[in-house]
Amino acid sequence: MKNILITGASSGIGKQIAKKLRKKYKVINLDIQENTLEGIEFYKCDLSNKQQLLKTIKKIKKKFSSLYALINNAAIFSSKPLKEQELEQWEKIISVNLTAPYILSKEFSLLLEESFGHIINISSTRAFMSEKATEAYSASKGGITSLTHALAISLPNVKVNSISPGWINTDKNYIPTVEDNLQHPCKRVGTSNDIVDMVKFLLKNRGFITASNFVIDGGMTKKMIYV
């Protein structure tokens, strides 16, 4: 069974990816939140802490001698007016959303090259468009989209791609309104399974798909809106 490492697989999109992949792959979850899925190898780690991350990577390498895919999914979000934003929060968001994927990709690059494997970065449509008060998150997602094609050039034996989700509802207690659904050209809000479908597709990629970003947003970023 091939090994796949997913960051942030204790909740949200990451959890659904892990849930759907665990029958076919040995899934390793790297997250600060406790793991609740059975059949998952769990390592608790604060991705914003560089030293803790490097120590955890060392533990994983000691137990697993191969890696087929790295899915950089973990991210934190903040929305605060620009004048109220603190540098410390900016640095934490960048460290989790961008620096950690860089470190993980670098440290596992040899194993991924040996397996002719995959790096899948979960970006966001916020890499291309923004709401106000989201500077750090948008910057981090723009960065990870660019990091994707840079890694693909540096690692020709690894398929490196990113996925940019739009509105993906991960809250079981929230039911999208009619208006929520109809603002999307496909007439519905996205679900985690829409991202899972793309992940599965990329894991079957034979090698010609690399350095690419895939927007999964129900068509929203292509919809022209006049107010």
Residues with active-site annotation: 137
Do residues 89 and 136 make contact, with C-beta atoms less than 8 angstroms apart? yes
Do residues 162 and 145 make contact, with C-beta atoms less than 8 angstroms apart? yes
Cβ within 8 Å of residue 68, ≥6 positions away: 2, 3, 4, 25, 112, 115, 117, 118
The total number of residues shown for the chain amounts to 227
Do residues 189 and 169 make contact, with C-beta atoms less than 8 angstroms apart? yes
Amino acid in position 148: T
CA 221 to chain centre: 19
